[in-house]
């Protein structure tokens, strides 16, 4: 049953890297759009979403939407990519439904899936629906040190016109404490909610830290989880995707984040050890306590 997998996040934790690696793997046939955003399409969800309007006829009354839809289809036709043209036609010109969602993946011949980081902040009812629509889908949840994830996302706002004011801690706190960002860093909440509806062997947790320290081990474990036969795929392994501009974090910002996330990080370290335990102390001290590289992935 397609899709074979759903990657539920986390934001700024390597999901674009994963999409690029799978998109170049011969056993996978990924949709041309990385993030489908079907299960977080409710207007009440804090993630921005173009799928909130169910009826295609109503969406197409918006000139900007219609222009974008026609442009995607025509661009694919001009390049001779008929498969992609069919996919974009189905994506833009059909009414949204559970059957429609499945149909986006039925066009794909290889292993395929949906990589939407906003699924990490779904409520119980949405997760229950996700399970009902794709009950056999494997789940992947990529985790990143909550402090670094929050700082990376704050910097990432620059790509969308957001200002980075290093002298305005109150503005930064407002961003971090927004509902969207609070939920995105509450990894244990996400894991426990998904496990109410999915078996634990359906889910695999991967660590962003392994992307730079042991990308082969990380990708190999993810490929095995997804049922790929070739788990030694190396194309673009060390190529980071969708990076934010590097800006050193002010000490006051770090102190605030360490205080805010300390309890959650201690719980993660207790449950999973490895990289999660490293988040609590500097690398040299962590290496002394646990020499060698931690596991790139763990089961929930």
Where do the structural domains in the chain lie, given as residue ranges?
A: 5-54+96-298
CB atoms within 10 A of CB 264: 16
Question: How high is the pLDDT of residue 282?
Answer: 62
- Average the pLDDT over each of 169-178, 184-193, 195-204 and give the range with the smallest value: 169-178
pTM of the model: 0.92
The CATH code belonging to domain 5-54+96-298 is 3.40.50.300
Distances (CA, A) of 111 to 29, 137, 146: 6, 11, 30
pLDDT-based confidence at residue 126 (cuts at 50, 70, 90): very high
Instruction: Give 6-38 pLDDT, tens digit per residue.
Output: 999 999 999 999 999 999 999 999 999 999 999
Band (161; pLDDT cuts 50, 70, 90) = low
- CB within 8 Å of 176: residues ≥ 6 apart: 150, 154, 182, 256, 257, 260
Mean local confidence (pLDDT), 95-107: 95
Residues 6+ apart with CB under 8 A from 170: none
Q: What is the pLDDT of residue 286?
A: 56
Predicted confidence band at 157 (pLDDT cuts at 50, 70, 90)? Answer: confident
By DSSP bridging, strand 138-143 and strand 297-298 are unpaired
**β-strand 297-298 against 203-207: which pairing, if any?**
antiparallel
Cβ–Cβ < 8 Å for 117, 10? yes
pLDDT of residue 108 exceeding 90: no
Least confident of 20-34, 212-226, 245-259: 245-259
3-state secondary structure of 194: helix
Per-residue pLDDT at 283 exceeds 90: no
pLDDT of residue 104: 96
E-strand ranges in the chain read 5-7, 113-115, 138-143, 203-207, 297-298
pLDDT category at 187 given cuts 50, 70, 90 is very high
Strand partners, 28: 111
Query: Residue 286: in which H helix or E strand, if any?
Result: helix 283-289
- pLDDT at residue number 194: 98
């Amino acid at each position: 049953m397609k899709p074979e997998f759903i990657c539920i996040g986390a934001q700024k934790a390597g999901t674009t890297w994963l999409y690029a690696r799978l998109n170049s793997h011969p056993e996978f046939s990924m949709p041309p759009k990385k993030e489908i955003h079907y299960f977080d399409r409710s207007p009440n969800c804090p993630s921005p979403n173009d799928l909130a309007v169910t009826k295609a006829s109503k969406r197409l009354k918006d000139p900007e939407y219609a222009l974008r839809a026609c442009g995607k289809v025509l661009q694919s036709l001009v390049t001779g990519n008929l498969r992609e043209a069919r996919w974009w036609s189905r994506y833009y010109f059909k009414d949204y439904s559970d059957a429609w969602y499945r149909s986006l993946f039925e066009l794909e011949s290889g292993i395929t899936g949906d990589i939407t980081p906003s699924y990490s902040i779904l409520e119980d009812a949405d997760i229950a629906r996700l399970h009902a629509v794709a009950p056999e889908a494997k789940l992947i949840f990529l985790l990143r040190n909550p402090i670094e994830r929050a700082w990376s996302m704050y910097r990432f706002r620059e790509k969308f016109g957001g200002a980075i004011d290093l002298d305005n801690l109150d503005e930064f706190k407002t961003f971090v404490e927004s509902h969207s960002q609070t939920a995105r860093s509450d990894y244990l909440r996400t894991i426990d909610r998904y496990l109410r509806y999915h078996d634990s062997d359906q889910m695999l947790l991967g660590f962003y830290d392994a992307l730079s320290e042991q990308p082969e081990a990380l990708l190999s474990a993810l490929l095995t989880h997804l049922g790929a036969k070739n788990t030694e795929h190396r194309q673009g392994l060390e190529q980071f995707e969708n990076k934010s501009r590097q800006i050193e974090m002010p000490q006051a910002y770090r102190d605030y984040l360490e205080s805010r996330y300390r309890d959650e990080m201690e719980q993660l370290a207790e449950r999973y050890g490895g990289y999660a335990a490293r988040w609590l102390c500097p690398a040299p001290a962590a290496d002394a306590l646990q020499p060698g590289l931690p596991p790139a992935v763990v089961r929930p």
